[in-house]
């Protein structure tokens, strides 16, 4: 989601910022601790450009969406550029704070440079999904919170109109989506259109008002809520009409962006952003993907030999994709098995981590309105300040496409020890600015999620040969992403060419493959981050094991990886090498034992 400023490029906010930069350059007090001033200015910048963050800082519920007009995006980028220049000008060693701020600001600058707002959806996320997920996370406990949600719903027409205007600009500049991710987005929009506002998921927060609320206030909120939901639904209707009449007939021909004006430049920047300091070119990522596919395929072939399967590799894939024994018969059965696997994962955590999050997570189905085009599972972060748990979402749509042998890996990735554990530990960090608690480097976060799947295998959660094959199939999925994503957006592949790697080497269900490739078509570069990040974490673990020998402590290593929250991969490399040196210094002293920490 693009956070954008309000007003013109040389607004009062910009004048205030330049004054602060001048003050920073001239005053001895600022020179004593320059990053404190710059962090404070960055936090003000975020509050000024994000209504949600501004509301949070004021202790209120958000009542509006960000502005995504070209003027707002340019204003944001100008302010980001000035702030990044001030950070780069510091004559100090590059700290983690600096590295992260530079990346956050660079992303905002690139959004404006490449006019990313022209395609405001990816195929499984976008402006059309934001109100749906906001409704899931909204809890109304006071009249003010109810009025804030009403105001935010009433702001949906303005927000959608700005996104539509950006899409129109895309049409006139030759920068538009492909028909496949557009279809998923269109289906999601269509699902939100109903003649009965009370049946909309956007109205759900009004169905659980506290019993202690004044009945007259509750009735008024519900009445106004129906009107505001109707206003939001009208925006969905208008957006759908625009897409069907004006946009869909002019979608791009190529599956990727390689042949769009400046497409390769945009893709190279996307790769750099999502792989977060890994330093790979698109060509290098493609070759790495091919090598990983070959390695994982050999391990999968080994399982076929182990179970004495009579038939080819493709015969085995067909068996896994079609045998009813591998699939739940009802949504409740799938949810029950997902919760059981999650409970097993919860139980192994103390053996692998010295520090666990204080706030936990729920396991829920993907909302029906977005499930058909949605991925198999996803994590929705909680909020420790609000006491809101994280959510591990499981897709119960098309049960014959949701194999049970993938559940251990999927649950490990999305819940624990994957996204929930990593993200919540970051959000619970003490003494860190909010941008550090909230930062999400794709290669770090998704790399950790894939590494968590590796830990589940290591801990024996994949109990049967089929589940072990399923775990390898999930890893193959991410290896094929390296091949397919670069194929689509760098080499100009077709959808069929991109799907071939998954069809030939993984047990992923056909619908999942189709949905995933659609997502890669709409979200260039993001899919490469998983394998890149996992391989980095594994490499650092192997280096630590080699350096520390029998003194290596897996719990202490994991705590060290997660201790600073999400960080760029080059920062993680320095962080773990510093940790290895510290461990060596301690273990070289005979009177010091290696501390492992106690699991709560």
Say if CB 100 and CB 568 are below 8 A apart: yes
pLDDT at 374 over 90: no
For the range 325-329, what are the long-range contacts, defined as Cβ-Cβ under 8 Å and sequence gap of 24 or more?
A: 326/403, 326/404, 326/405, 326/466, 327/399, 327/400, 327/402, 327/403, 327/404, 328/399, 328/402, 328/404, 329/399
Q: Which domain-ending residue is among 504, 530, 556? A: 530
The tens digit of pLDDT for each residue in 140-159 reads: 999 999 999 999 999 999 99
The tens digit of pLDDT for each residue in 81-90 reads: 999 999 999 9
Please calculate the CA angle 190-192-198 and round it to the nearest 5 degrees: 145
- Evaluate whether residue 295 is within a structural domain: yes
Same domain, 109 and 235: yes
Same domain, 207 and 95: yes
Full domain range(s) for residue 478: 267-530
Residue 473's closest CA among 320, 305, 327?
A: 320
What is the number of structural domains in the chain?
2
- Evaluate whether residue 259 is within a structural domain: no
Q: Which domain-ending residue is among 219, 250, 281? A: 250
The tens digit of pLDDT for each residue in 66-83 reads: 999 999 999 999 999 999
Same domain, 178 and 72: yes
The tens digit of pLDDT for each residue in 395-426 reads: 999 999 999 999 999 999 999 999 999 999 99
For the range 86-93, what are the long-range contacts, defined as Cβ-Cβ under 8 Å and sequence gap of 24 or more?
A: 86/21, 86/24, 86/38, 87/38, 90/34, 90/35, 90/38, 92/34, 92/35
pLDDT at 32 over 70: no
Per-residue confidence (pLDDT) for residue 290, from 0 to 100: 98
pLDDT at 2 over 70: no
pLDDT bucket at 112, cuts 50 / 70 / 90: very high
Same domain, 213 and 334: no
pLDDT at 453 over 70: yes
Per-residue confidence (pLDDT) for residue 385, from 0 to 100: 85
- Evaluate whether residue 287 is within a structural domain: yes
Same domain, 197 and 291: no
Q: How far apart are CA 522 and CA 516, in angstroms?
A: 10
Same domain, 184 and 276: no
245: left (phi over 0), alpha (psi -120 to 50) or beta: alpha
- Evaluate whether residue 594 is within a structural domain: no
Q: How far apart are CA 566 and CA 419, in angstroms?
A: 11
- Evaluate whether residue 550 is within a structural domain: no
Q: Which domain-ending residue is among 200, 221, 250? A: 250
- 3-state DSSP call for residue 391? strand
- Evaluate whether residue 311 is within a structural domain: yes
**Over the chain, what is the mean pLDDT?**
92
Q: How far apart are CA 389 and CA 361, in angstroms?
A: 5
- Evaluate whether residue 369 is within a structural domain: yes
Per-residue confidence (pLDDT) for residue 278, from 0 to 100: 95
The tens digit of pLDDT for each residue in 231-275 reads: 999 999 999 999 999 999 999 999 999 999 999 999 999 999 999
Same domain, 121 and 227: yes
Other beta carbons less than 10 A from residue 254's beta carbon: 17
Mean pLDDT over 290-312 rounds to 97
| Higher per-residue pLDDT: 84 or 32 | 84
Per-residue confidence (pLDDT) for residue 8, from 0 to 100: 35
pLDDT at 4 over 70: no
Same domain, 287 and 243: no
pLDDT bucket at 124, cuts 50 / 70 / 90: confident
- Evaluate whether residue 389 is within a structural domain: yes
pLDDT bucket at 590, cuts 50 / 70 / 90: low
pLDDT at 369 over 90: no
Mean pLDDT over 14-33 rounds to 49
Same domain, 246 and 308: no
The tens digit of pLDDT for each residue in 161-204 reads: 999 999 999 999 999 999 999 999 999 999 999 999 999 999 99
Q: How far apart are CA 98 and CA 90, in angstroms?
A: 9
Per-residue DSSP letters for 129-147? THHHHHHHH----SHHHHH
Query: Which range has the worst mean pLDDT, 221-230, 548-557, 578-587?
Result: 578-587
| Higher per-residue pLDDT: 12 or 387 | 387
Same domain, 367 and 471: yes
Q: Which two tokens stand for residue 42?
A: 């960055």
| Higher per-residue pLDDT: 124 or 26 | 124
Same domain, 209 and 317: no
- 3-state DSSP call for residue 394? strand
Same domain, 345 and 451: yes
């Amino acid at each position: 989601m693009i956070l954008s400023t309000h007003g013109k490029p040389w607004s009062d906010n910009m004048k205030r910022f330049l004054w602060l930069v001048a003050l920073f350059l001239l005053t001895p007090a600022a020179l004593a601790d320059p990053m404190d001033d710059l962090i404070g200015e960055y936090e003000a910048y975020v509050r000024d450009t994000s209504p949600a963050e501004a509301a949070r800082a004021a202790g209120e519920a958000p009542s509006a969406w960000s502005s995504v007009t070209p003027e707002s995006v340019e204003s944001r980028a100008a302010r980001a550029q000035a702030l990044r220049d001030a950070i780069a000008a510091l004559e100090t060693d590059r700290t983690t704070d600096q590295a992260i701020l530079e990346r956050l600001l660079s992303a905002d600058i690139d959004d404006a440079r490449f006019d990313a707002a022209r395609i405001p959806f990816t195929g499984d996320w976008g402006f059309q999904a934001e109100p749906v997920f906001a409704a899931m996370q909204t809890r109304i406990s006071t009249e003010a919170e109810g009025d804030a949600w009403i105001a935010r719903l009433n702001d949906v027409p303005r927000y959608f109109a700005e996104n539509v205007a950006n899409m129109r600009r895309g049409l006139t500049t030759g920068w538009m989506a492909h028909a496949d991710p557009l279809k998923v987005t269109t289906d999601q929009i269509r699902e939100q259109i109903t003649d009965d506002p009370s049946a909309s998921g956007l109205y759900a927060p009004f169905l659980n008002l506290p019993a202690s609320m004044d009945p007259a206030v509750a009735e008024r909120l519900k009445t106004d809520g129906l009107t505001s939901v109707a206003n939001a639904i009208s925006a969905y209707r208008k957006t759908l009409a625009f897409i069907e009449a004006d946009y869909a007939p002019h979608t791009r021909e190529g599956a990727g962006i390689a042949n769009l004006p400046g497409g390769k430049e945009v893709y190279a920047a996307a790769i750099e952003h999502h792989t977060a300091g890994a330093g790979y070119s698109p060509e290098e990522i493609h070759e790495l993907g091919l090598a990983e596919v070959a390695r994982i395929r050999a391990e999968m072939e080994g399982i076929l030999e182990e179970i004495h399967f009579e038939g080819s590799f493709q015969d085995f894939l067909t068996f896994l994709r079609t045998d009813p024994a591998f699939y739940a018969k009802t949504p409740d059965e799938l949810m029950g098995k997902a919760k059981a696997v999650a409970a097993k994962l919860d139980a192994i955590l103390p053996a692998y981590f010295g520090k666990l999050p204080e706030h936990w997570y729920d396991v829920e189905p993907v909302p029906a309105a977005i499930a058909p085009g949605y991925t198999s599972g996803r994590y929705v972060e909680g909020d420790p300040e609000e006491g809101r748990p994280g959510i591990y979402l499981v897709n119960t749509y098309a049960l014959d496409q949701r194999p049970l042998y993938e559940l251990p890996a999927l649950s490990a990735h999305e819940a624990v020890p994957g996204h929930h554990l990593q993200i919540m530990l970051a959000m619970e960090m003490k003494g860190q600015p909010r941008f550090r608690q909230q930062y999400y480097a794709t290669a770090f976060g998704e790399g950790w999620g894939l590494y968590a799947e590796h830990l589940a295998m290591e801990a024996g959660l994949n109990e049967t040969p089929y589940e072990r094959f399923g775990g390898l199939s999930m890893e193959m999925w991410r290896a094929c992403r390296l091949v397919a994503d670069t194929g689509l957006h760098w080499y100009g592949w077709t959808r069929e060419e991109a799907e071939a790697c998954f069809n030939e080497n993984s047990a992923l269900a056909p619908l999942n493959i189709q949905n995933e490739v659609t997502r890669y078509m709409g979200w260039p570069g993001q899919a490469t981050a998983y394998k890149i990040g996992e391989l980095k974490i594994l490499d650092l673990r192997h280096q630590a094991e080699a350096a520390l020998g029998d003194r290596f402590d897996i719990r202490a290593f994991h705590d060290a990886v997660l201790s600073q929250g999400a960080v760029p991969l080059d920062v993680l490399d320095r962080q773990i090498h510093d940790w290895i040196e510290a461990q060596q210094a301690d273990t070289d002293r005979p009177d010091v034992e290696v501390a492992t920490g106690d699991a709560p």
